[in-house]
Amino acid sequence: MSLVSRLTSALRSAAHTPSVRRSARSLGRAAVRAATRQQRSSGGERSPLERPRQHQAASGGGAQALADRAGRAPLSFDYAPRRDGHPDPGEIVWGWVPYEEDLSQGKDRPVLVIAEEDASTGGADGSGEVLIALMLTSRDRADEGEVTTDQHGATWVDIGSGDWDGQGRPSEVRADRLLRLPPEAVRREGARLDRERYDRVAAAVRSLHGWG
């Protein structure tokens, strides 16, 4: 047997040794932890809008999904972000957003809370207080400061950039779809929108839904 063959055989035997495999796993984990610390210390930690958005089954976030707001009752807007641990109108938070065609499926994504109301005001499901929110996207659909309706009939309001996106990318909110989210189903991990931009979004929603 040649020297190369003997070395190859020895390496294969070592690779199947439990102690060697454990050492390799430990080294791999240590490398991941070191890389994570380096990323955070250098300011490279991902912002909320950059986090992976996984599909979830009905047994997860979808179990709390409510139908979109319906009815013609005007929405009562109240800009009131507060540092009280509760998601408030004017804040961008994270929540499980169901697909329009199937409430049992959806995505975990950032949303802009625009109002709070009793669940019975805009739907037949849910109880107590619910948040009325608009889904966010960093995809470019509307020009700066503009409102645009795309080819699918969805209306987008540009809100510019903010602390919710570490890359400084402009974001847009969908004004035609009013989400109803239980407060306990969202995570307060985003940021707050200033009053001027909140009022611009509220005006677009009022106009779109015929509330004057």
Q: Do residues 22 and 61 share a domain? A: no
- Same domain, yes or no: 167 and 186: yes
* 68 class by beta-carbon count within 10 Å (0-12 exposed, 13-18 middle, 19+ buried): middle
Instruction: Give yes or no: residues 63 and 150 share one domain.
Output: yes
- Count of domains observed in the chain: 2
Digitized pLDDT (tens) for each residue of the chain, 212 residues in all: 555 455 455 545 544 454 444 444 444 444 434 443 444 344 444 444 544 444 443 334 444 789 999 988 999 999 999 888 889 999 999 999 999 888 889 999 999 999 999 999 999 999 999 999 999 998 877 777 789 899 889 999 999 999 888 788 899 999 999 999 999 889 877 799 999 999 999 999 999 999 97
Distance CA 135, CA 87 (A): 15
Does 99 lie in the same domain as 33? Answer: no
- Structure-token match 């300011």, residue found: 43
Does residue 8 sit in the same domain as residue 80? Answer: no
Go through the chain and tell me how many residues it has: 212
Domain of residue 54, residue span: 48-208
Residue pointed to by tokens 């984990």: 29
Calpha distance 59→56 (Å, rounded): 8
Q: Are residues 200 and 112 in the same domain?
A: yes
160/142 Cα distance (integer angstroms): 10
Let me know whether 9 and 69 are in one domain.
no
Taking every pair of Cα atoms in the chain, the longest distance, rounded to a whole number of angstroms, is 88
Residue for token pair 């070592």: 14
